[in-house]
Amino acid sequence: MYIIPKVWYKGLMNLPRFLIQPSRLSLIAFIFIFLPCFGQSDEGTVLLFNDTPYHLNATLLAADGTVLGQVSLKAGQQTNFTKDLLPTRYQLPMNPDTSLTPYTVIWKCHTEGIYAIGSNVSPGSLVRATLCDGQKFCPPPKPQTPPNPQSGK
């Protein structure tokens, strides 16, 4: 038996009974109402972070090389990429040996070329463009030459 100081005991007497002595109903309410609020699943979610001075396109590939999606990120921008496969029309074969993970993230320059490639990306991870393998350089955009008005004559 625990000895409770009288000051604490008087404070406990003012609390509702279900907080002091949990019943089945309060336990069920705690499990189904409060516990889901404490954590959410990040299954298949990858946080993509463009920490470069360039405008990059991030392409996410499944383990078998299937393109799951593409996101355009400006410098300093980040986004969550989830495994919502409905827009990609990706259908898993009924084979337990098939897996979407590990993912591969290809960072492409907005102008042309590949900035970097992140391989072995696990779900729930943060992928920064500067920490991936590659040349980590984007060529400047080619200047557009104005049309020559003399060429039409």
CATH of domain 46-86+100-131: 2.60.40
Question: 123-143: per-residue pLDDT in tens?
Answer: 889 999 999 999 999 988 888
- Whether 132 and 50 have beta carbons less than 8 Å apart is answered as no
For residue 150, the model assigns a pLDDT of 74
Conformation bin of residue 16: beta by default, left when phi > 0, alpha when psi is -120 to 50: beta
73, β-bridge pairs: 56
What is the token pair recorded at 140? Answer: 């400047």
Domain ranges of the chain: 46-86+100-131
**Distance (Å, whole) CA 54 – CA 46:** 20
For residue 59, the model assigns a pLDDT of 94
Q: Which residues of 20-38 are buried (b: 16+ CB within 10 A; e: fewer)?
A: eeeeeeeeeeeeeeeeeee
Query: Average pLDDT for residues 108-114, to the nearest whole number?
Result: 90
What global pTM score does this model have? 0.62
Residue with tokens 């970097």: 116
Instruction: Kindly report the average pLDDT of the chain as a whole number.
Output: 76
- pLDDT above 70 for 111: yes
Question: 5-40: per-residue pLDDT in tens?
Answer: 554 545 555 555 555 555 666 666 666 666 555 555
Question: 46-92: per-residue pLDDT in tens?
Answer: 999 999 999 999 999 988 888 888 999 999 999 998 765 555 555 65
* Degrees, nearest 5: CA angle 83-89-93: 85
